[in-house]
Structure 1
């Protein structure tokens, strides 16, 4: 059995970031092109003979716009000021965003953005295009986080009508901001992220994956993925780009799972660090050095832990074998043992419990969400690890591996049921609905078919029943399952009948 690592205290650096100080930079082709024409003793980065990168970019910017192919055709800028709600509703939507969305994503800096929102609400006809697009993205996310009933009660309008209005506003705002040419505007990219996140329930994953590729390419152009590029920015700017990059990566990973894509960006090909465990109030626009990471859960704990786990997963052999085996030489050296005893994944699980989760207050909505979402995710990755190693020289431990695997599947469902039934996290249910525990159902149903009278059979039936009720008959949320999940639900019912 592998030696267990020493458990780090809350102030310890991330286990998945032991290589995080290594910063990689690509060679600048513009700089290289000019080297031939320089004097031998001229080692400057600039020269009159240089091919000026900025000049070339400026030339492209001067070409008449024709960037409308993603959001329909138009020839003039559209005035979307009339699509804004009144100031009272703007602030209500902002507050809903702060309560239901911001704690989970942390891609906007509340202290600096709130002043801009207040100023913009006082005169919606004079808003900077990128900020206006972001505001419509915030409206869309706020409405998406509410139930149909709550939308009607709060805004005297249907959820469908509100989303249609705000999605259109966000589309036009993005076009007005020239988002496809964006090289440095975080508001524009964040608006695009919010738009793509809020249209999820009415979109086909394959199409959404293609749109996400656009957002990721823009983020790469902005250097969000590169610590070398981020090191040139202020601490606040760099941190917000890290948070946004990781949010895009996590969303792309999930949509990739739904669309069966093997090209998710969650891979060891970039060096963006995970966000710091600090609150927004710890950052100031004028600060020169980043704040010290906290030794206790902060308001960013949910986002930090999701990134912590994903940063580990992107270097694992089982993840890369399923997605891009050619990248394994670039990954950190991680050992595996699919029995779950002493495996690197199990060690990480123990460390996360000791470093983060034991300090969380289960009475706090964001802490409750963090505890059970993290355990849900770890259980899921245990299953994926098992599938990778299944049948590979572990025949002598078949029973042990099978029992361990069913344990992880049941854990996954139990965590999901807690999330779906707790009024404490009603405002966060929109996030939980993105992660249907299909791997757990698959594993349990297959196990019941092979061992219908096993020791875990009764518990399996009870756990699945409770989760099915929570998922499809919950009073907390009324998101209508799409065709895919209706088909999955029907298939699960059919398999359960055959297993009974």
Structure 2
């Protein structure tokens, strides 16, 4: 997921050092402890107890402390050693959302620039092998820095300027086996998927951003939530299609979904494209006359509904089906999915049949099964979200009953039953709520009618 180190070379050095660990170099010591840290971070608490007979928390404390000590002993803040910078970067990826990572990532970028990683190396003493590893490391650092900047500085929520990305090419599309420290000619790039495909797919966005002024504007608008007119939306849609074509041509034309890395890469690409398209068509980015109502057309509703399904289905694929540790690709995905679920449910009040609708309800059911607090917690957002879910389900049940000639099915999902029971319990005056199949049973819950959705209401709730 990172490809910061060259596995065959490092593996041999680890074997050599295992015979005499006390005399391992400072740089190798740092990178080994960083690998221990990221390895423990990537496995579950139960696995830690099974494999090591120790708790995950104790192991993380031990290895994080050891990594920091090893980095200090190697003078990492003034280093010009590529391996020490690799160790520091792996350590940052072990907890990419922490305050420490946010702070140290900026320092790491400065160290990398001091070492010249942002420029094509012309030093004849730098081997082809080291040049390639420097390029890999630089792009990983830039991606981590961009994410940290957006997450930690809300007032400066915008991607890095293209000039900050440096002037170096993307890493080569090759496997580690194609690289060797003694190589005298660059390896021949593969035209199909390699070990680098997931990493390169992620880098492709930054490279596209570096060369496309329209892409720069797109990311600024999406991240900062700028208001858009119809012409700008059409332009941004065209630009997103360009990125989608790049993904298909370079990474997915010959991919095999049966291979876990290929499937994961495809899912992350789908998340990226669907989320961008969802955001540019989202009602929140539309101009309004009185700043109280935001409505969208049926055509754009179709785009939003399909994008939301692709986004959420790919997220489920990444989190449930992938054989990789979820920690290793959290920096490539997103946790801000509630907008998509809200839009699905708002549209499910009038979309009541079809394969997409069935998949949408499966996604909603999975969400409730994984997050029982949506039913049990009584905060305003969860209550409003539950009300919207129940209203959508009433429309779904009525459509199913009509398709069966008016005969109702007993197949009400468990989460719907629990939601309805909770509403009965929470009814303030103690009066019994009408049966769930009564289409008028939710009229008093304060939601919008079947034709329009006022997104300002949900914008306020999402800030809770």
**Same fold, TM exceeding 0.5?**
yes
Query: How far does residue 352 in structure 1 lie from its aligned partner after superposition?
Result: 1.6
CA deviation after TM superposition for structure 1 residue 427, in Å? 3.0
SS of corresponding position for 1:117: helix
CA separation of 1:232 and 1:410: change in aligned 2, threshold 3 A: farther
Picking from 196, 206, 215, the partner of 1:300 is: 196
What is residue 377 of structure 1 aligned with on the other side? 272
State the partner residue of 2:162.
268
Which residue of 2 is the match for residue 52 of structure 1? none
Shift of 1:402: 3.0
CA contact (8 A) 1:296 1:356 kept: yes
Distance 2:194 2:139 in 1: 18
Query: Offset of 1:447 from its aligned partner?
Result: 6.2
1:410 and 1:440 in contact (8 A); partners too = no
Q: Does 1:404 align with 2:303?
A: yes
* Matched-pair contact (CA < 8 Å) for 2:3–2:196: yes
2:120 is matched with 227
- Choose from 17, 34, 49 the match for 1:137: 34
Q: 1:337 to 1:429 in 2, by over 3 A?
A: same
Matching of residue 344 in structure 1 with residue 239 in structure 2: yes
Q: Describe the shift of the 1:432–1:453 C-alpha distance in structure 2 as closer, same or farther (beyond 3 A).
A: farther
> How far does the alpha carbon of each residue in 1:188-229 deviate from its partner, in whole angstroms, 9 at most, with x for none?
11111121221346x34xx53222111111111111222256
CA contact (8 A) 1:266 1:310 kept: no
Distance 1:447 1:410, change over 3 A: closer
Partners of 2:381 and 2:128 lie apart in 1 by 49
1:346-398, CA deviations, whole angstroms, 9 ceiling, x for partnerless residues? 132134223321311222121121111121122222234445994379x9983
1:312 aligns with 2:208: yes
Partner of 1:426, secondary structure, is coil
Distance in 2 of aligned mates of 1:491 and 1:260: 27
The alignment yields a C-alpha RMSD, in angstroms, of 3.5
The equivalent of 2:462 in structure 1 is: none
Separation in 2 of the partners of 1:125 and 1:490? 56
Give the number of aligned pairs: 367
Contact 2:268 2:332 in 1 (8 A): no
> 2:314 and 2:29 mapped to 1: Cα distance?
38
Mean Cα deviation higher: 242-251 or 260-269: 260-269
Distance, in Å, in 2 between the alignment partners of 1:306 and 1:139 is 25
Per-residue Cα deviation, 1:165-188 (whole angstroms, up to 9, x for no partner): 110110000000000001x21111
Matches within 5 A, 1:240-259: 240-259=133-152
Which residue in 2 is equivalent to 1:179?
Answer: 76
Give yes or no for contact 2:4–2:86 (8 Å, CA) kept in 1: yes
**Which residue of 2 is the match for residue 55 of structure 1?**
none
Residues in 2 aligned to 1:178 and 1:490: alpha-carbon distance in whole angstroms: 49
Query: Once the 2 structures are TM-superposed, how far is the Cα of residue 295 of structure 1 from its aligned partner?
Result: 1.0
Report the CA distance shift for 1:457/1:359 in structure 2 as closer, same or farther (over 3 A). closer
* Relative contact order, higher structure (CA 8 A, sep 6+): 1
Deviations 1:72-118 (CA, angstroms, capped at 9, x unpaired): xxxxxxxxxxxxxxxxxxxxxxxxxxxxxxxx111101122122111
1:310-355, Cα deviation, whole Å (9 max, x unpaired):
3224541121356799xxxxxxxxxx96358960211321342233
Q: CA deviation at 1:135?
A: 0.6
**d(CA) in 2 for partners of 1:181 and 1:360?**
42
Higher deviation after alignment, 144-153 or 442-451? 442-451
The residue aligned with 2:20 is 123
Cα distance in 1 between the residues matched to 2:312 and 2:261: 20
Structure 1, unpaired ranges of 5+: 1-103, 326-335, 474-480
Asked if 2 retains the 8 angstrom alpha-carbon contact of 1:200 and 1:208, the reply is yes
- Equivalent residue, structure 1, for 2:314: 415
CA contact (8 A) 1:253 1:266 kept: yes
Q: Residues 444 and 324 of structure 1: is their aligned pair in 2 closer, same or farther, counting only changes over 3 Å?
A: closer
Cα displacement (A) at 1:272:
2.7
SS of the equivalent of 1:275 reads coil
Shift of 1:282: 0.9
CA displacement 1:455-479 (0-9 Å, x = unmatched):
6776544323324546x59xxxxxx
In the alignment, structure 2 segments of 5+ residues that lack a partner are: 226-230, 289-293, 390-464
Structure 2 CA distance for partners of 1:452 and 1:112, relative to 1, 3 Å: same
| Residue in structure 1 matched with residue 183 of structure 2 by the alignment | 287
**TM-score with structure 1 setting the length:** 0.65
Residues 458, 165 of structure 1: alpha-carbon distance in 2 compared, 3 angstrom cutoff: same
- 2 CA distance for matches of 1:449 and 1:288? 60
Aligned-pair CA distance for 1:439: 4.2
Alignment correspondent of 1:236: 129
- Aligned residue for 2:431? none
